[in-house]
Amino acid sequence: MKILGLFRHAKSDWDDPHARDFDRPLNARGRKGAKLMGRHIRDYGVHWDRVIASPALRSAETIERASADDPRLGEVTWDRRIYLASPETLCDLVREQDDALGNVLLVGHNPGLEELIFTLVRDDGSSPLRDSIEAKFPTATFAVLELAVDRWRDVREGCARIVHVARPRDLDPSLGPELMRR
């Protein structure tokens, strides 16, 4: 069995209309959410043998904030293919991993990460966690999949089950959706 963690970048700033998408930084809520989720990921207790991340600024800042208090998140391998990747590209990247690695964490973007979950986890109605992701996979969400494979190259559609999902709002309600004011 292999463990695949997925960590969506935290909330980014849209204030600069001239900034390239790749160069958007985190906003204040994103910085707070990334730090909170970093503690949660460490507390979850999996040692990540490899962390592979999109080099987009918001992903880099998410990792920086998430590991600020404790660098155990691991050394990061930056891979441009993760930036706005399709689920097929993400699957290919996962399949390339060395079989000596048991636990890999991907840090990236939607819709790719969410679609990767839908590709790897069957929609058979038996997973409330999958259903919750189908409803919403917001920024800074952390999900853990157990893959029924011994070799990364054997990752295929339907080979996983979701064992954990945490959103910033689950840990701090102030990081949830902003309420509409009347």
The answer to the question of residue 182 being in a domain is no
The answer to the question of residue 157 being in a domain is yes
- Cross-strand pairs, 144: 5, 164
The answer to the question of residue 104 being in a domain is yes
**pTM to 2 decimal places:** 0.93
The answer to the question of residue 75 being in a domain is yes
The answer to the question of residue 127 being in a domain is yes
Model confidence at 173, in pLDDT bands (50, 70, 90)?
confident
The answer to the question of residue 181 being in a domain is no
Model pLDDT for residues 36-85, shown as the tens digit of each residue: 999 999 999 999 999 999 999 999 999 999 998 776 677 899 999 999 99
Overall number of domains in the chain: 1
Looking at residue 15, its pLDDT comes to: 82
Domain that holds residue 19: 2-175
Model pLDDT for residues 125-159, shown as the tens digit of each residue: 888 999 899 888 999 999 999 999 999 999 999 99
The answer to the question of residue 68 being in a domain is yes
- Domain CATH number, residue 147: 3.40.50.1240
The answer to the question of residue 122 being in a domain is yes
